Structure 1
Amino acid sequence: YGAGTLVNGSVYCPFYEDSRVIRINTATMDVSSLDLRSLPSWIIDYGQVDFIVGDTKDGELCMLYASDDFHLHVWIRGVDGDGIGVWVQQLIPSLSAQIERTTGESEGKLRVVQARSGCVYLYMSCITPIGTQRCWLFYHSLGTTEIELLIHGTFHDRAYLYIMAWPPCLIGDDEGTGHEVEGSH
Structure 2
Amino acid sequence: MAAIITKRNDPKSFSYVTRIDIPAETRSQVNTLLNQSLATAIDLKTQIKYAHWNVKGKDFYQLHELFDEIASEVEEFIDLIAERITTLGGQALGTVRIAAKASELPEYPFDAVDGMDHVEALADRFAIYAKSLRQNIGKTDELGDMDTNDLFVEISRAIDKRLWFLEAHLQTSFA
Larger Rg: 1
Question: Do the two structures share a fold, i.e. TM-score over 0.5?
Answer: no
Return the structure number with greater helix share: 2
Q: Which has the higher contact order (CA 8 A, sep 6+)?
A: 2
Q: Normalising TM by the smaller chain, what interval? A: under 0.3
TM-score with structure 2 setting the length? 0.22
